[in-house]
Amino acid sequence: MVGKSRKTRHFSPASLVLKVLDIPITFSFFIMELLNVSFAILLVKMAICILPGVLGIFFIVSSEETKRHLRSTLCNQLFGVSNAIPFPKFERFLYVSGTVLVLLSLIATWFIHLRKFF
């Protein structure tokens, strides 16, 4: 093999996935149809609608221990001490912000996805 150069083949990421999953190349056009710009925009819209609601529900229903840990972490990052914010005020802030986030999620879902159906 002296003097002979090896030729490397370059594959696109989609063809590598198809090769690893042992999917025939004829299905590659079907997969590429799913990965278009409108699908990416739909995913961003869904994230805008869902993530605030999930975070709001987490703020509302998390246990007292989780809220205390969140408060101490936030106070350590902002102020350098773990108890700068009193817990009752922090808990009230979490309830209010959780409710606002759930309402924001519902309003965003209405305007982004459901308004055109009514």
pTM for the structure as a whole? 0.67
Q: Could you tell me which residue, 3 or 49, shows the higher pLDDT? A: 49
Q: What is the pLDDT of residue 36?
A: 78
Q: What is the pLDDT of residue 104?
A: 96
For the ranges 3-7, 9-13, 100-104, the maximum mean pLDDT occurs at: 100-104
Q: Could you tell me which residue, 25 or 33, shows the higher pLDDT? A: 33
Domain count, the chain: 1
Q: Domain range holding 72?
A: 13-117
- Report the C-alpha gap between 79 and 67 in whole angstroms: 17
- Report the C-alpha gap between 71 and 83 in whole angstroms: 8
Residue 106 has pLDDT above 90, yes or no: yes
> What confidence category does residue 39 fall into, taking pLDDT thresholds of 50, 70 and 90?
confident
Question: Is 52 within the bounds of a domain?
Answer: yes
Q: What is the length of the chain?
A: 118
Question: Is 2 within the bounds of a domain?
Answer: no
